[in-house]
Structure 1
Amino acid sequence: MRVSELAGSARADIRLGIGAHVNCLGKGRKQRIIPLTSTTVAVVSAWLTEHCGLPTDPLFPTRHGT
């Protein structure tokens, strides 16, 4: 996954639990599904718990929330 794809991800693009993955629209507008390790799931789960928001909000917002 490219950094720009990760930075542009929304909260709704990530799926935690069984078969945890991130949906991504990559280069050439190709949809990709990137699996997540259990360590990554634990870290992202903690992040999402600390930073509440709507599914359309950015996964990693800036200081201004965008």
Structure 2
Amino acid sequence: MRVSIYYNSAKCEQQDVILIKLNNSGRLGVEATWKECFILSGKEVYVNEGQAKSMPLAVGEAMI
């Protein structure tokens, strides 16, 4: 199994955003699961109260 994750920060309509790309280069489909958390001034801040997000990724699929 091989899933790569890429991220970049950007501005969208004058707001800071994080862009995430997941790429499944493995031989099987997978389900990627993550929690969004930022560290601001040394303090962890969770998005959506720390609830996990998930996304199915087919073989060779990349999602943004």
TM-score, normalised by the number of residues in structure 1: 0.25
Q: Which has the higher strand share?
A: 2
TM-score, normalised by the number of residues in structure 2: 0.25
Larger radius of gyration: 2
